[in-house]
Amino acid sequence: MRRRTLAASLAAAAAAAAAVPTAAIAKPGRQGDAYTWRNAIVNGGGWVPGIVFNETEADLIYARTDIGGLYRWQEHSQTWKPLLDWIGWDRWGWTGIVSVATDPVETKRVYAAVGTYTNDWDPTDGAVLYSADYGETWGAAELPFKQGGNMPGRGMGERLAVDPADNAVVYLGTPNGNGLWRSTDYGRTWAEVADFPNPGNFVITPGDPYSGDNQGVIWIEFDQTGRIFVGVADPDDPLYASGDRGRTWQPVPGAAAALGTADGNRTIPKQAAIDHENGHLFIVTSWNPGPYNGPPPTGRGGAIQRLSLATGEWTDVTPAYDPVGTIPGFGGLTVDRKRPGTLMAATENHWYPDEVIFRSTDSGASWQTAWDYVWDKDYSWPPQRTDRFTLNPAGNEWLTWGKTDDGPAYAIKHGWMMDAVSIDPHDSDRIMWIGGTIWGTEHLTAWDAQGPLVGWDETAGQQVALPVEPFEVGVRVQGIEETAVTDIAALGGTLVSAMGDLAGFVQTDLDRPGVMIRHPNWTSGRALDFAGKNPDVIVGTGDVEGDVDGHVGVSLDRGSTWQTTKRLEGVAGGGNAGTVTVSADGAVIVWSPGDGTTAPVRSTDLGQTWTPVAGLPAGALVRADRTDTNRQYAFAGGTVYASTDSGSSFTATSASGLPPAGPVDLRAVPGKRGHLWLAGGETGKTYGMWRSTDCGRTWCRIQHFEEADAVGFGKARSRFGYPAIYASAKAGGQRGIWRSTDEGLTWSRINDDAHQWGWTGKTITGDPAVYGRVYVATNGRGLIYGDIAD
């Protein structure tokens, strides 16, 4: 693949377009420019609760994400292709994928159960999307209830399943008392299976808006005789079967005793897999649906149970040994279709030092672990560690998270929240699993030739690591971009991003992930700014843990290195990062903490000391003029504030008619003293876009938009022209990404209906060095950028 720097010419960008798997060309807007859309590469960045192989067609694999849509594997390029970029603003919740089912009979057919939240965070009901062309085009069957692609329990399942005996029949398990649903026309219409007796009852935290769901009907499996098995989140009645094609249902004898408890902890059946040749139904259980749980207060948190489909006999095949100690519960489960009797499972969650992957080749009678401790004779801490495979993060070095190996806790882990573990049904050597990224190998069966990891040295009287030839596991996430981008700073040749859960990145090559911002140690990046006259100076804010790093970070070399600032007394870590700005010359930083009670502060020594700012309320959005080093601006509650003394004090302007409520984006125009643009507001109230050319004293509404959420600027179309303006907005009832090259007099939509990426209202900016280039922040599809195609 050709690499493309931020300073590359448009001709080079267009020439490279065909080589980039995530690229697509949008139709021309009114101003005649077709656009090519790609991702600024991070590789992953989110969570993939499910990896599903088609059991009939080789190399047909789907990956579902919790907020970033659905992907299909492309074997020729070893990358994933996004399939749901057509989902727009009004249906953004459909980017959360509850489950995916790939048809084993007509393999072009694929189904996705969608909906991000079951609470009021998501305004729309869920749906089942259906496709007959591998996900290239879709239809949608809307449901009368919500689904939770980003809710607790999202790694269980799969909740969707195609009946292999009649592939027009598709089943869906649902949460919150909605029961089991069925379609008999390839997913186009749905009805509840009225005779299914149990909608589930397991709730993590009753009454909690996020953890209060009844987990409901969890998964559906079919054996070779046509029987249907359904797992239910009910420890007292967790498994049902039907032998008459779903007309009647009976509880499976012995299921409650086998699946409903582990060491006194109530458990539910999280995942299941059938070994057809040996006639075994394997089920993993856990005391918590995940994915964030650790172990229960006492005892083990789950089990692996085996049901003989011929006799109905239950056998507890839970591994007797876990190097960390008591099993906290289980995540993923998979069987090897080519090697009957072989299965694997993963713990969820030990957290330290790593998760444990188990493998059995005798139907669970015995197990081996992916790694083990090696203790000296005194059992001194820390022990050594020995592993069956090595992790190669090539091209994704950020997976260290800035850490180094610490005894048995490696900087790069096998994983956490490991609900997706899948052996290729066509190739026993290939496996993929989720664990901070998608890991995978094509050498899995080398495990079976290794033997035990640990032996006993009689002379030394202690354990020793036995020699094994480790196989290599590498990153298999390329093409999946699932970051939630919170802010962008385009400097011309350097792109800096702030991201939820990943802090952010500094990139000089958009085809490589770049360097993760790790100092300060942000858990999530929140806001960015740079000095308008000296863009080597960058400031940012992020959520922090502990009491060491301050929320604000500073770079003096375009993001190559960062330094921390002093922690402001009284501002706790977590989600209190707020917004930050830096004067045009880089000399003054103004920070507005996000805790809602601490008033903005100012620093002239790169954040080593902070002094209160006069005249601003807590939580105000702060911005610096890009040209005038003495001018700063702020916005709060419909009021614009201005400072002429480098942010020492602010005074409310006389501006009126601006949004008093709702999210707002305020931006200063590069090279234009006193020019400001504002977008935002609240549906049904004051909502839109405005501009000011007099330092915020008066404002003119941009009549083109009835709603607008983000605005930014890039290189002008002509040498002395006004910067190109980009917006995520709604005009004439049409949501889109818009561009103006004439100071906002006229606008053209530059994306199309195939490239919408759900919600795009957080931030947008152009590039100061490349005309036409625009960067779009998404909430789960990464950092999208567009170039003029020709």
Residues forming the active site: 66, 501
d(CA 172, CA 191): 10
- The rounded distance, in Å, linking the Cα atoms of 575 and 308 is 50
From CA 618, how far away is CA 616, in angstroms rounded?
Answer: 7
Q: How many angstroms separate the CA atoms of 381 and 209, rounded?
A: 42
Please give, one letter per residue, the 3-state secondary structure of 581-637.
EECCCCCCEEEECCCCCCCCEEECCCCCCCEECECCCCCCEEEECCCCCCCEEEEEC
Rounded Cα distance, 475 and 191, in Å:
40
How far are the Cα atoms of 99, 144, 273 from residue 130, in angstroms, in the given order? 12, 17, 24
Mind giving me the DSSP string for 664-704?
EEEEEPTT-TT-EEEEEE-TTSSEEEEEESSTTSS-EE-TT
Whether 337 contacts 55, CB under 8 Å: yes
Joined together, the tokens standing for residue 651 give 């005074």
3-state DSSP call for residue 470? coil
* Closest C-alpha to 127, from 181, 196, 62: 181
- Distance (Å, rounded) from C-alpha 67 to C-alpha 70? 9
Q: How many Cα atoms occupy the beta-carbon half-sphere of 481 within 13 Å?
A: 28
**214 DSSP β-pair partners:** 203
As a whole number of angstroms, the distance between CA 14 and CA 4 comes to: 10
Q: Could you give phi then psi for residue 596, rounded to 5 degrees? A: 85, -5
- For residue 353, which amino acid is it? P
User: What gap in Å lies between CA 544 and CA 541, rounded to an integer?
Assistant: 9
Q: 3-state DSSP: the chain helix, strand, coil percent, rounded to 5?
A: 5, 40, 60
Helix (H) or strand (E) holding 15: helix 10-17
Report d(CA 494, CA 514) in Å as an integer. 10
Residue 302's CB: how many other CB atoms inside 10 A?
A: 30
Please choose, from the candidates 295, 312, 301, 291, the residue with its C-alpha nearest in 3D space to the C-alpha of residue 241: 312
H or E stretch covering 660: none
> Nearest 5 degrees, angle CA 385-CA 389-CA 393?
105
What CA–CA distance (Å, rounded) separates 721 from 715? 9
Give yes or no for a contact between 369 and 358, defined as CB atoms under 8 angstroms apart: yes
10 Å CB burial of residue 247 (0-12, 13-18, 19+) is: exposed
- Contacts of residue 38, Cβ cutoff 8 Å, sequence gap at least 6: 17, 20, 22, 23, 510, 784, 785, 786, 787
Angle at 132 between CA 241 and CA 225, to 5 degrees: 25
